[in-house]
Chains A and B, each alone.
Chain A
């Protein structure tokens, strides 16, 4: 059973456009929702994260929107740049930093000029 469903699988966006990646979860015990960014040949790295007590978190051009009632969260990349081309993973975790992260299957983003 896939606990975190991510869509789309791949995304092509024009430079300067908005990239939107969506995730849905089932387990209401999740209380931490990070997004990881992975460039080819590298390990994933934390991009931005949110907890369910807020509906939105913004860091530069990256924004997480969180809808607790719908059990959905999304990543918005404003003014997308070719350097943003990477694979993005959403994830979720239960309380305590010692519980495993559950990852979505990833979205390959290509930003074209």
Chain B
């Protein structure tokens, strides 16, 4: 199993550009989530999904969209990038009901200039 994979590893955007951060898992996990990590702020939840077709907002959802058309994939879309979205983004997955452990991907480092 590859586990949780994220692409790209690094990305530089200009203000106003849009892009999609990709996340995929091959463990047949129902639960997937996106976090951003900023210095001194810990891991803050952006959006999460409890299964295909179901998504919900986390703590910091503004400026981000998600969809979950398959169990495997959970892309994160930045609609119009802003410097405040400069961060490291982590995708995570969990088997779901009855199992709590979250498996994190390696992260995407995004810089918005």
Majority SS at the chain B contact face? strand
Cross-interface CB contact of B100 among A32, A41, A42, cutoff 8 Å: A32
Q: How many residues of B contact A (CB 8 A)?
A: 29
Does B102 lie at the interface of the complex (its beta carbon under 8 Å from any beta carbon of A)?
A: yes
Majority SS at the chain A contact face? loop
Does B40 lie at the interface of the complex (its beta carbon under 8 Å from any beta carbon of A)?
A: yes
Across the interface, do A98 and B50 meet the contact criterion of CB distance under 8 Å? Answer: yes
Which chain B residues numbered 77 to 113 have a C-beta less than 8 Å away from chain A? 90, 92, 94-102, 104-107
**What does the 1/0 interface line of A29-41 toward B look like (CB < 8 Å)?**
0001010100001
Across the interface, do A103 and B43 meet the contact criterion of CB distance under 8 Å? Answer: yes
Across the interface, do B58 and A100 meet the contact criterion of CB distance under 8 Å? Answer: yes
**What size tier do the contact residues of chain A reach?**
20 to 34
Complex contacts, B74 vs chain A, CB 8 Å: none
Cα–Cα distance between A100 and B44 once the two chains are bound (Å): 10
Across the interface, do A103 and B90 meet the contact criterion of CB distance under 8 Å? Answer: no
Cα–Cα distance between A41 and B95 once the two chains are bound (Å): 25
Q: Of A55-63, A73-81, A89-97, which stretch is located at the interface? A: A89-97
Chain A residue nearest to B50 in the complex (CB):
A98
Complex contacts, B73 vs chain A, CB 8 Å: none
Cα–Cα distance between A105 and B39 once the two chains are bound (Å): 9
Cα–Cα distance between A41 and B43 once the two chains are bound (Å): 14
Which chain B residues numbered 18 to 44 have a C-beta less than 8 Å away from chain A? 30-31, 33, 35, 40-44
Task: Name 23 A/B residue pairs within 8 A (Cβ), A-sorted.
Answer: A6-B42, A9-B40, A32-B100, A34-B100, A41-B107, A43-B4, A43-B90, A43-B104, A44-B104, A49-B100, A89-B42, A89-B43, A93-B100, A96-B98, A97-B31, A97-B94, A98-B31, A98-B50, A98-B96, A98-B97, A101-B100, A103-B43, A105-B41
